[in-house]
Chains A and B, each alone.
Chain A
């Protein structure tokens, strides 16, 4: 009888542990194998005929068709703490709507006196890019076969006749 009670007790305890973990399956994990920073900037090479902004390489997640969107990423392999480089990454890409995957490149950027290395991928938004919010997925696979992913939201608007200031919000609202 004692043994039966023990088994029932263990079963109840196990269910108490397991049920919340199933219930939280949709939540993001509390531990990560690869940690990522992601942003996008407006590139200096928009498609021909696409108006250029006054300043290039400003952070923004609002673009018009034909503009160059540059993904910038850096991160670390959790556990070792090593920053992601070509030494520990098998492949890295950005999955976007309207293009084959964009391969991420490891390279140096910034002022000549203070160049640092991080990952980038650039593309020009297609002329028929759907207007509205879109999600790009950034994927890194390490040499240890662990993955880092990031879902990055950006917005495509019909026109952007101002620099990336507070007025961008107005443009977005109009779209």
Chain B
């Protein structure tokens, strides 16, 4: 039993050492969103209008239209996701139907390649909207976007 525990402990130490080396993360740091992105890289920004017509903001009143400008790419193959290789892409909003994202040919490096709109219902609760963007490609790679955990910068419904 003691021998088995020792072997297990040695294994854990070895795995930890390999992981720490591979990730090259300084102890005490918590890189956002995680030390490594193993599948799809996904970002989202919220705008008041589509196609560069609106302004970026995180604060919307009820009744306003939120435009999600989203970027997705494969963090391993470096390939930007396109309409041809995406299986699904949507924004998940608590208490709301999913917002389907449609492909938009990017006009710049790291630029928007998917977009979707959400009209905030009149009775939607005021406060932070904990939305996520979710992707799956046809080769079964997944990616999510979550907002930076700085409350005042998160999507918020205001009066």
Contacts and interface: CB of A to CB of B under 8 A. Distances in A.
B25 A85 contact: yes
B121 interface: no
Nearest to A41: B153
A76 B41 contact: yes
A31 B24 contact: no
A34 B61 CA distance: 35
B137 interface: no
Given A28-B106, A81-B75, A83-B37, A166 B61 contact: yes
Interface in A124-175: 148-151, 153, 155, 163-166, 168-169, 172
B123 interface: no
A169 B54 contact: yes
A81 B36 contact: yes
Contacts of A90: none
Classify chain B's interface size.
Answer: 35 or more
A134 B36 CA distance: 33
A50 interface: no
Interface stretch (A5-13, A14-22, A91-99, A112-120): A112-120
B120 to A, nearest CB: 10
Of the candidates A56, A59, A80, the one having the most CB atoms from chain B within 10 angstroms of its own CB is A59
A155 to B, nearest CB: 7
A61 B25 contact: no
Interface in B28-73: 29-38, 41, 43, 45-46, 48-49, 52, 54-61, 64, 71, 73
13 contacts: A57-B153, A59-B56, A60-B55, A61-B55, A83-B31, A83-B36, A109-B148, A111-B149, A111-B150, A118-B32, A168-B48, A169-B54, A172-B55
What are the 5 closest A-B residue pairs judged by CB atoms, nearest first? A59-B58, A37-B43, A116-B32, A78-B78, A61-B56
